[in-house]
């Protein structure tokens, strides 16, 4: 049986402020196989690593992240001390030490994500298998598929596995990323028999982690990758 991949959720969210370089470094220090992050396109066209559509929960700013320039965003503090990173800064930090799962969170993120991935493959020695691009947004994943069919894709779902599976077929997805409450041992096996990797989220307590391992999932995304 394959080893279940340990994937840090937004870096190591349970230890350090999510989606920051410091959180990603913490995940690397904990020996993860992969790191999951979220991206938005800011007003000046850069991909920034941040989860929410608005700034109020995590920063000393307010308003929509898509309406702010990179300079505006860099002037803010996450949890009073950290900076919002760009996707390039994250890639440079990871430097192929593990796989990177880029979740397309914001609108119109697909094209710039494609270009960035291709640049790191062409110029920085990365390989397609070092990346996994996921989203809840079918339009963004379809755009990636139409732009570059070599980029591995994953379909996120929190409520409907059947719907996710039907869509995954249309974009030749490599993985399904279900919320862990959706899974049984049988559904995991069925998805794997159809050729999909099953990476489940966000699994934090030891009992749930143990259950997901017993189901034979391919990867577990956790705020506490050291629990895995």
Asked whether residue 157 is assigned to any structural domain, the reply reads yes
pLDDT digits (tens, 9 = 90+) for 32-43: 999 999 999 999
Active site residue 40: no
The domain tally of the chain equals 1
Asked whether residue 65 is assigned to any structural domain, the reply reads no
Residues forming a β-bridge with 49: 39
- CATH classification of the domain holding 28: 3.20.20.190
Could you give the count of Cα atoms lying within 13 Å of 29 in the half-sphere of its Cβ?
10
Asked whether residue 223 is assigned to any structural domain, the reply reads yes
Does residue 1 have a pLDDT over 60? Answer: no
Q: How far apart are CA 181 and CA 190, in angstroms?
A: 16
* Domain housing 17: 5-51+84-227
* pLDDT at res. 106: 96
Asked whether residue 188 is assigned to any structural domain, the reply reads yes
Active site residue 177: no
* pLDDT at res. 15: 98
Q: How far apart are CA 147 and CA 152, in angstroms?
A: 12
Does residue 67 have a pLDDT over 80? Answer: yes
Given 9, 15, 40, 177, the catalytic residue? 9
Asked whether residue 33 is assigned to any structural domain, the reply reads yes
Q: Copy the structure tokens of residue 140.
A: 């963004």
Asked whether residue 63 is assigned to any structural domain, the reply reads no
Whole-structure pTM over 0.85, yes or no?
yes
Asked whether residue 220 is assigned to any structural domain, the reply reads yes
Does residue 174 have a pLDDT over 90? Answer: yes
Locate tokens 């980029």: which residue? 151
Give the pLDDT mean for 69-91: 98
Residue 202 carries which DSSP code?
Answer: -
Asked whether residue 66 is assigned to any structural domain, the reply reads no
Given 15, 40, 51, 177, the catalytic residue? 51
């Amino acid at each position: 049986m394959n080893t279940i991949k340990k994937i840090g959720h937004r870096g190591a969210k349970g230890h350090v402020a999510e989606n920051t370089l410091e959180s990603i470094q913490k995940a690397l220090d904990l020996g993860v196989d992969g790191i999951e992050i979220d991206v938005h396109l800011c007003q000046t066209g850069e991909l920034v690593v941040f989860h929410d559509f608005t700034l109020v929960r995590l920063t000393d700013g307010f308003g929509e992240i898509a309406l702010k320039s990179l300079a505006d965003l860099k002037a803010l503090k996450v949890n009073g001390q950290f900076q919002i990173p760009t996707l390039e800064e994250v890639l440079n930090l990871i430097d192929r030490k593990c796989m990177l799962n880029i979740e397309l969170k914001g609108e119109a993120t697909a094209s710039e994500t494609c270009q960035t991935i291709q640049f790191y493959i062409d110029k920085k020695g990365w390989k397609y298998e070092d990346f996994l691009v996921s989203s809840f947004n079918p339009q963004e994943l379809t755009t990636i598929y139409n732009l570059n069919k070599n980029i591995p894709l994953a379909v996120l779902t929190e409520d409907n596995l059947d719907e996710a599976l039907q869509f995954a077929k249309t974009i030749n997805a490599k993985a399904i990323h279900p919320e862990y409450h959706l899974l049984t041992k049988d559904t995991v096996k069925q998805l794997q028999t159809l050729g999909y990797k099953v990476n489940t989220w966000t699994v934090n307590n030891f009992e749930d982690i143990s259950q997901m391992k017993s189901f034979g999932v391919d990867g577990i995304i956790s705020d506490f990758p050291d629990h895995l």
